[in-house]
Structure 1
């Protein structure tokens, strides 16, 4: 497994301090984020998943705890929209440049507006996908928000 990805290059270029954590990715896991949390021994609310969606027909990215569900109503409101829906896997992969299960908010092929679940900011650190299945980056949540130029909002159900 490569330890250098588009995501890690993005973080390096942004001057963000992070550490890498690797685990055995299970493509058959019911919830990939929860499987990652268990595999690396972290609390599920500290391991964040990256979701790709559309708000009023425009692509967006949402970063939320792996044990939470996104509220489409709250997601739309976070981007001053009326309607939100998840992107299909193929579109998410095409826009992000990553495979489902390895989608990172960092270094995406097409940079889209991003919202970071505000509750995650209370954590001393978070763990997020590093741009490859089985590769996670551990960093300060404020550093992630700054590097992504992300909005913060309550977007979970």
Structure 2
């Protein structure tokens, strides 16, 4: 599978996630792959097709909380090898509860389609929580803003570009 390393000066606009990384001067590697519409798990498909440990591939989920700003939406980034712990997410951001957001609301708010929601370059800046396990890796992969495209970057850069906090929000 061909990968392309890009950074601030690379040509071609790309997705909003790529544009945001270029603007921030963050080094990243594009990992495009042929998306299978029949795949049961977008993140699992990416890990398998790209031959990457699923613990290094992170999915972007939106949760709704009792916060008043941005419809109470929070971005949660967890490994595709596990699940989001909604109670842990709520505790991490200081709310009483969290539930998965309506997919249509997630798409309208982020500007991305489900299965291609990137934590980077969303239409609206949302509070973001990255599972602390990301810090165990030199690089992680997240959606590049469309199905069939992952972006690899250092966890510290992901935190910087999204304004994320880290917390133990994933579970096996």
Equivalent residue of 2:59, what SS?
strand
Relative contact order, higher structure (CA 8 A, sep 6+): 1
Taking structure 2 as the reference length, the TM-score comes to: 0.87
Superposed displacement of residue 29, structure 1? 1.5
1:13-40 per-position Cα deviation (integer Å, ceiling 9, x unaligned): 1111001001111222221111110011
CA RMSD, 1 decimal:
1.2
Aligned residue for 2:91? 77
Partner Cα distance (1:28, 1:156) in 2: 26
1:24 is matched with which residue: 28, 34, 41? 34
Moved over 6 A (4+): none
Aligned length: 156
2:64 is matched with which residue: 47, 54, 60? 54
User: 1:129 aligned to 2:143?
Assistant: yes
Taking structure 1 as the reference length, the TM-score comes to: 0.95
Partner Cα distance (1:155, 1:76) in 2: 9
User: 1:11 aligned to 2:25?
Assistant: no
Partner Cα distance (2:112, 2:33) in 1: 18
Name the CA shift for 1:3/1:136 in 2 (closer, same or farther; >3 Å): farther
Equivalent residue of 2:156, what SS?
helix
Where do 5+ consecutive residues of structure 2 fail to align? 1-11
Partner Cα distance (2:104, 2:144) in 1: 19
Equivalent residue of 1:138, what SS?
strand
Aligned residue for 1:68? 82
8 Å contact from structure 2 (residues 42, 147) kept in 1: no
1:94-116 per-position Cα deviation (integer Å, ceiling 9, x unaligned): 01100111100101011100000
Where do 5+ consecutive residues of structure 1 fail to align? none
1:102 is matched with which residue: 116, 125, 129? 116
2:166 is matched with which residue: 147, 152, 157? 152
